Amino acid sequence: MNKTDEILDRLKDWQPVIDNPDELTDSIMARLPESETRGSRWRLVAGRALQYVSTIAAVCLIGLFLYQQSPMQKTDEEPHYNKSCFSAGSTLKDVYMRRQQQDNLITYNQLRKMLYEKK
């Protein structure tokens, strides 16, 4: 055995002796800082307010994201690539990826315009 194990074995059998345990408890309690009820109330109110504000901000951001993903054309016939194909199980990543794929499609009018601009 090494010295550390020997010391630990000796300390296992040794029990500290306290002359007056109530006095020790009182001295520990006296050294603890006083609780600030006014400060803790302020932290509670500020925490709740921050929680409400962050919840409202999150809801607004999700609403803005979904509004941005909706098609903007108001014509009677919308092209097939602008039709919403959101399913009930879609995640925000799926919605974003579909929108990116739709943005890459070129319409006939855009293709014709690009062809005439080259001439």
| Number of domains making up the chain | 1
Per DSSP, 70 falls in state S
In a domain, residue 87? The reply is yes
pLDDT tens per residue, range 35-93: 665 667 788 889 999 999 999 999 999 998 888 876 665 555 555 555 555 555 567 77
3 within a domain of the structure (yes/no):
no
Q: Are 98 and 85 in contact (CB under 8 A)?
A: yes
Identify whether 24 is part of a domain. Answer: no
Which pLDDT score, from 0 to 100, does residue 52 have?
96
Q: What is the pLDDT of residue 109?
A: 77
Assigned domain for 64 exists = yes
Q: For residue 86, give its domain range.
A: 42-70+79-119
Let me know: does 90 contact 111? Beta carbons within 8 Å: no
Answering whether pTM is above 0.75, one says no
In a domain, 32, yes or no: no
Q: Indicate whether 17 belongs to any domain.
A: no
What is the end-to-end Cα distance of the chain in Å, rounded?
93
Task: Quickly state the pLDDT bin for 117 (edges 50, 70, 90).
Answer: confident
Is residue 15 domain-resident?
A: no
Look at residue 51 in the predicted model and tell me its pLDDT.
Answer: 96
